[in-house]
Amino acid sequence: MRIRLALVVLVLASAACSINNSSVDSSSIGPTPAPVPASSGPTVTDDIPAGAVAMTTTAFGANPLVVSAGTTVVWQNNDTVAHTSTSNTNGWNSGTLQPGQSFGFTFTSPGTFPYHCTIHQNMVGTVTVQ
Question: Which pLDDT tens digits describe the chain residue by residue (130 residues)?
Answer: 544 444 333 433 443 333 343 333 333 334 445 555 555 789 999 999 999 999 999 999 889 999 999 999 999 999 999 999 999 999 999 999 999 999 999 999 999 999 999 999 999 999 999 9
Domain 31-129 has CATH 3.90.550.10: no
Which stretches of 6-110 are assigned E, i.e. beta strand? 43-48, 65-67, 71-77, 86-87, 102-107
Task: Give me the count of residues in the chain.
Answer: 130
Domain boundaries, the chain: 31-129
- For the entire predicted model, the pTM comes to 0.71
